[in-house]
Amino acid sequence: MIVMKFGGSSVQDAVAIRRVASIVASRLAEQPLVVVSAMGGVTDGLVQVTEAAEQSELGLACEMLDGIREKHILASVEMLNSAEATAFALKLDARLAEATALVTEIAAQGSATAGQRSHLLTFGEVLSSELVVAAFNALGVPSAHADARKLIVTNARHPVASPLATATREKLMQAIPELLEQNLVPVLGGFIASSESGEVTTLGRGGSDYSAAIIGAALMAGRIEIWTDVSGILTTDPRICPNAQRIAEISFHEATELACFGAKVLHPATLLPAIEHDIPVAVLNSHKPNEAGTIIRAIASQGPSSFRAIAVKRNISVFNVHAPSHVESLRFLDDLFSLLRWHHLQSEIVAISGASASVAVEGGRELVKLTSELEALGEVDFQPEMAIICMVGEDIRGRVGIASEVFGILAAAGINIRMIAQGSSEISVSFVVEEKDAVKSVQQLHRQLFEQPSVTHSHATSAAPHKIAQA
Ligand code: ASP
Ligand code: MG
């Protein structure tokens, strides 16, 4: 079996849901299970409903719930015949009655508990999954609703609960295989779950991808497909390089590294269950279902370049701090990182030598206020308006000459590098340049390393891989 997850924009209206039905129909031989997000905008809408209820604006909250009802009804009447649409409306109204009761409770209290807040947010996926089941059946894809709130078991933490793998697997195994055996497509809402004691929980915003991975791992799916509105993961930001190419395959490690440096890829935390069970994850475009997309898997096959992708993170500032020579380096670093932690600053890249350190953090000129505090540790030089560029590729591990190749390209373009770091996993090289040079840097690197890979990059020459880029 396979798991197919469709995000909010893929189920945002009747046109989108019809498209989803035809994509799923094309996969029936693989026994798909479908996970859907709330219709686009509905979860945000429910956040606003909660806020209105907390201000005891019950009328406004109910009006907003009505708007959400309309969105589902509108889509349903475009896809269902009148008997089917009536049956769906009855179900919808029963669900919305639960939501209204909850909203009324919150409004009476004047504030929502963390549990009530999570509970209210789950209605987006509850409603979308009911709508999608009705639509599938009307459009000739036999399917059955499975309530994710009864099948995904988590701890009771709000608003981001953690799944309990064994209990979840047991419940899914009781419910799903029998639906698949009857050739029905099980449809579940993503993002939503319950604690062991039955309290409704969520996996946190954007959690539907995570649901798909949890379900895929529990049922040992052959593949997890994440259907979005982009054609997979690209070699770099297409707004910077219009020639950015689709990455056919990328490893879990590479995807993780890219996400850390701001690339728009699936968040690797959400893929963890898939990684643990070595289940390939495909990122596909529901608007262009015939495009190949990107496969994320444990070991990805070689691409056209030694590097897999380039990520850029802007709005970076660098602090260079030099402690006086008598200061013990461990003590100095301890103080430095305590201070950053105190200000909730995460170090993106760190370079240390003895009792001096360069730290790149996210933020702009406003961080200058930290300078005076850091001066307690030593001499400080503050450099705002920087950007981090991160080059990722498993294939660079252990390769001689990779750094000189990258920095040679930048030197030839007259770009000054402010800071360099190689990830300890040796699958990435990151460096800091001035923000004004970021676009040019990425364009040069992409042009030379991705758009015209020389023969030396090709694995046809893998008999002598270490010769690469030594020139
Ligand atoms: N509907 C939820 C959200 O908007 C979960 C998801 O779409 O993944 O955050
Ligand atoms: Mg999403």
Residue 471 has pLDDT above 60, yes or no: no
Tens digit of pLDDT for each residue in 130-154? 999 999 999 999 999 999 999 999 9
How many whole angstroms from 16 Cα to the centroid of ligand 1? Answer: 17
How many whole angstroms from 64 Cα to the centroid of ligand 1? Answer: 18
Give mean pLDDT, residues 15-29: 98
Give mean pLDDT, residues 254-263: 82
Q: Smallest Cα–Cα separation from 168: which of 149, 181, 187, 184?
A: 149
Query: Helix, strand, or coil here: 76?
Result: helix
Q: Smallest Cα–Cα separation from 172: which of 154, 196, 145, 153?
A: 153
Ligand nearest to the backbone CA of 191: 1
Pocket residue to mutate for ligand 1, from 120, 191, 192, most atoms within 8 A of Cβ = 191
82: CB partners within 8 A, 6+ apart: none
How many CB atoms within 10 Å of residue 160? 14
Pocket residue to mutate for ligand 1, from 44, 205, 211, 226, most atoms within 8 A of Cβ = 205
How many whole angstroms from 240 Cα to the centroid of ligand 1? Answer: 28
Do residues 202 and 118 touch, judged by C-beta distance below 8 A? Answer: yes
Q: Smallest Cα–Cα separation from 48: which of 36, 34, 65, 30?
A: 65
- What angle do the packed helices 123-138 and 114-121 form, to 10 degrees? 20
Do residues 79 and 18 touch, judged by C-beta distance below 8 A? Answer: yes
Q: What is the C-alpha to C-alpha distance for residues 247 and 231, in angstroms, rounded to an integer?
A: 10
| Upstream peptide bond of 159 is cis (omega within 30 degrees of 0) | yes
- Ligand 1 atom closest to Cα of residue 204: 9
- Ligand 1 atom closest to Cα of residue 37: 7
> Where residue 461 falls among pLDDT bands split at 50, 70, 90?
very low
Q: What is the C-alpha to C-alpha distance for residues 301 and 250, in angstroms, rounded to an integer?
A: 8
How many whole angstroms from 191 Cα to the centroid of ligand 1? Answer: 6
Ligand 1: list residues with CB < 6 Å.
7-8, 37-38, 43, 124, 190-191, 205-208
How many whole angstroms from 378 Cα to the centroid of ligand 2? Answer: 44
Q: What is the C-alpha to C-alpha distance for residues 350 and 354, in angstroms, rounded to an integer?
A: 13
How many whole angstroms from 211 Cα to the centroid of ligand 2? Answer: 11
Give mean pLDDT, residues 227-239: 90
Pocket residue to mutate for ligand 1, from 11, 34, 35, 43, most atoms within 8 A of Cβ = 43
Residues within 5 A (CB) of ion ligand 2: 7, 206
Q: Which residues does residue 318 pair with via DSSP β-bridges, in sequence order?
A: 360, 383
Please give the mean pLDDT across all residues of the chain.
92
How many whole angstroms from 138 Cα to the centroid of ligand 1? Answer: 25
How many whole angstroms from 226 Cα to the centroid of ligand 1? Answer: 13
How many whole angstroms from 258 Cα to the centroid of ligand 2? Answer: 17
Task: Please report where in the chains the tokens 């209605």 appear, as a residue.
Answer: 123
Q: Smallest Cα–Cα separation from 238: which of 309, 298, 319?
A: 309
Identity at 468, one-letter amino acid code? I
Q: What is the C-alpha to C-alpha distance for residues 451 and 437, in angstroms, rounded to an integer?
A: 20
- How many angstroms separate the first and last alpha carbons of the chain? 49
Identity at 321, one-letter amino acid code? V
- Ligand 1 atom closest to Cα of residue 44: 4
CA angle 12, 18, 23 (to 5 degrees): 105
What was the pLDDT predicted at 389? 96
- Ligand 1 atom closest to Cα of residue 191: 5
Ligand nearest to the backbone CA of 206: 1
Do residues 16 and 10 touch, judged by C-beta distance below 8 A? Answer: yes
Q: Where are the beta strands (DSSP E) in 289-378?
A: 294-297, 309-322, 347-353, 356-362
Residue 398 has pLDDT above 60, yes or no: yes
Which of 59-63, 304-308, 420-424, 462-466 shows the lowest per-residue confidence on average (mean pLDDT)?
462-466
19: alpha, beta or left? (left if phi > 0; alpha if psi -120 to 50): alpha
Tens digit of pLDDT for each residue in 206-227? 999 999 999 999 999 999 999 9
Do residues 125 and 148 touch, judged by C-beta distance below 8 A? Answer: yes
- Ligand 1 atom closest to Cα of residue 38: 1
Please tell me the pTM assigned to this model.
0.85
Which of 42-51, 181-190, 424-433 shows the lowest per-residue confidence on average (mean pLDDT)?
424-433
What was the pLDDT predicted at 454? 53
Ligand nearest to the backbone CA of 125: 1
Give kind and range of the element (H or E) at residue 53: helix 42-54
Ligand nearest to the backbone CA of 210: 1
Do residues 132 and 89 touch, judged by C-beta distance below 8 A? Answer: no
What was the pLDDT predicted at 453? 55
- What angle do the packed helices 82-109 and 123-138 form, to 10 degrees? 180
Q: What is the C-alpha to C-alpha distance for residues 61 and 66, in angstroms, rounded to an integer?
A: 9
How many whole angstroms from 11 Cα to the centroid of ligand 2? Answer: 12
Considering 10-24, 254-268, 390-404, the range whose residues carry the highest mean pLDDT is 10-24
| Residue whose CA lies nearest to ligand 1 atom number 8 | 206
Q: What is the C-alpha to C-alpha distance for residues 96 and 109, in angstroms, rounded to an integer?
A: 20
